[in-house]
Structure 1
Amino acid sequence: MTERTAIRASFSRAATRYAAAAGLQRVVCDRLLELLPDRAARRVLDLGCGTGFASTGLHARYPGAMHYAVDFSLGMLRAHEQGGRTARVCADAHHLPLASASADIVFSSLMLQWCDLPVALAECRRVLREGGHMCFSTVLHGTLAEIDDAFAGLDAHRHTVSFPAPEALTAALTGSGFAVELVRRETHVEYFADARALLQSNRDIGASRVPDGARRALLGRAALRQVCNRLEAGREARGVPLTYQLAWVVARASSGDRS
C-alpha cells in the first residue's frame, strides 16, 4: 500500500464521524468562504471537499457556476450531498482529471498539508484560467507541536506531517505561477478534556496517518502512557492544549514566468 493510498483509506474510515469531530475545520472553512473574490465564475473546484462544509457557501457565491466537489476519499465523497449543479469527482490533487485552463476558482480548505505542495499547486495552476483564483487555507510549521513534543525520543518515527514555514509556502506559490493577493495568519489553540481525547480527535478527522517515515506498528502501552503523561503535563485551565498555526491565502493565476 502506497502512502497516498494509506492516507486515502484513513480519511475514508473517518468519513462517518468527520462532521461531528471537525469543529475547527468548519470554522476555518467558513472564514475562507468570506475571502472568496467577487467575480464571475463558470467552473468552481472544491478541492479536498470532504463531507461538503463549503458546498452551500460556494453555491451562494457562484450560483450560476458548475461546481466540482473533488476528493480522493470515496468515503468522504459518499458523505457529500450531490446537488443539481455539483459533480462529485474522486481524484488526487496531484493528478486532476480536468482540462488545462478550465476553472475560474479553486477552493481548498485544510487539504494541501496532505500533498506534495509544489506538485499540488502546479496542478491547481494548470487547471485555472489566466487570472483565475486559488483560495485556500492550510496549516504551517508549529502546528501540532504538542504531539511532536509528546512523542520526542520515544522512537525514530514521525508522528505529525511536516508542515511548511510561511516563506516556503510563499515560494511554492510564486514558483507555481501564482501572484499572492492576500495572506492571513492566526494561532489557534484547541483544548481537550484529557490526552486520550486529544489523540482520538486527531484520529476522528482522519489526520493521524502521517506520510513517509510514519510508524507502522501500534504504540506499546508503556509508550502510549508516556505520551499521555507528557501531553497532560501541558494542561492549562481550559484543558490539554493542541496548537494550530493557520493560514488563509488568496492567490491569482499569473501570466509571469514560472520557475
Structure 2
Amino acid sequence: MALLNKLNTPFFQEAGEIARFTSRFFREVSKPRQEWEEFVNQSYFIGYKTFTLVGITAFIMGLVLTIQSRPTLVEFGAASMLPSMVSVSLVREIAPVITALICAGKIGSGIGAELGSMRVTEQIDAMEVSGTNPFKYLVITRVLASTVMVPILSSLAIAISLYGGYLGANLKGDVSWSLYWYQAYKVLIFGDFVPAMVKTIFFGFAIGIVGCYKGYHSQKGTEGVGRSATTAVIVASLLVFILDLIAVQVADVLGLT
C-alpha cells in the first residue's frame, strides 16, 4: 500500500493522462476524413511564423560557436579543423536540440494558450454539441503540423548555422567559401544526419501532443490558461532532453555515432 501511495503522485497521474491522450490521438488519426485544410493552416502558423526566430537563433549559434572554438583550436595548432568540428557539433546535436527548445517555447505555449482559451470560453464544448469532432479538428491537425514542421525547421537551422560558422571562421581568419564547405561536409556521414532528423520528428510530436494536452484539459479561468501555456513549455522542454538522451543511446547501440 505504501508503494501504491507513493506511485499515486501528480507526476505519475500526469504521465498517465498524457499517455492516454496520446493513445487517443493514434486512434483518432487512423479514422477517415482528416481536416487537411486546418492542417495546412497550422503548418503555416507553426512553420512559417517560427522560421524567423529559428533562423536568427541558428545564425547566431553558428557564429558564436565558431568564434569561441577558434582560440582553443589555434592553441593546439588545429585551426584547420574548425569547419569540421563546427559542422559535426551543429548537425549532430546543437542545431536540432536548440531548434526543438525554441519550438517548445513558441509552439508549445501558443497551442496551450489557444486551446486553453477555447476550453475556458466553452468553444470546444460548443463544437461537441454541434456535432464536430473537436479532437480531430484541433488536436490532430496541430500535432501533425508540429511533427512535420519541426524537422523542416531543424534542417533549415542546420544550413543557416553552418553559414554563420563560415562568417565566424572569417572574422579572424581567411577561409575560402569552397574550402570551408568542403571541410565541413567531408567529415559528415550518413549516421550524422539520420539520427538528427529522426529525433526531430519525435521532438515535434512531443511538443505538439503536450501543448494540445495542456490546452485541451485547461482549468476554468484565465489563471488556468496561463498555467496551461507555462506547463506546456516546461514539460515539452523536458521531453526534448529525455528524447535526445534516448536517441543518443539508440544511435550508439546501432553504431551510428
The normalised TM-score by structure 1 is 0.27
> Which has more radius of gyration?
2
Between Structure 1 and Structure 2, which shows a larger proportion of helix residues? 2
The normalised TM-score by structure 2 is 0.27
Larger RCO, structures 1/2 (Cα 8 Å, 6+ apart): 2
Between Structure 1 and Structure 2, which shows a larger proportion of strand residues? 1
